[in-house]
Amino acid sequence: MREVAWHKVPEPVLTVRLDGSVDYETSDGEVRHVPAGSFVLVEDTHGKGHLSRHSPEAQTVIWISLPNGLELPPAQ
């Protein structure tokens, strides 16, 4: 896997992974594997951010930028 150094997003982003996969590692050590067909809300606009480890195959991802301060309904 190819690792991308610590980084953060400029605004909250909903990512929809169409192919390839990625492992995201948060600053508290949590690692989440995101395979093709998954979506993730990336909200780390402050602090250290996250590490990304991408699979070697193609990476097709839809990025949907969300406005800062957007209130999402609580998960049910």
Q: pLDDT at position 72, please?
A: 67
Q: pLDDT at position 15, please?
A: 95
Q: pLDDT at position 36, please?
A: 95
Domain ranges for the chain: 2-65
In terms of Cα–Cα distance, which of 53, 58, 57, 22 is closest to 39?
22
| Angle subtended at Cα 3 by Cα 16 and Cα 33, rounded to the nearest 5 degrees | 45
Q: Give the model confidence (pLDDT) of 22-75 as tens digits.
A: 999 998 999 999 999 999 999 888 899 999 999 888 899 999 998 877 776 777
Q: Which residues contact 37 (CB under 8 A, 6 or more apart)?
A: 17, 18
Q: Which of the four CATH numbers 2.60.120.10, 3.30.43.10, 3.40.1280.10, 3.30.1330.60 does domain 2-65 have?
A: 2.60.120.10
Per-residue pLDDT, averaged over 9-32, amounts to 93
Q: pLDDT at position 14, please?
A: 94
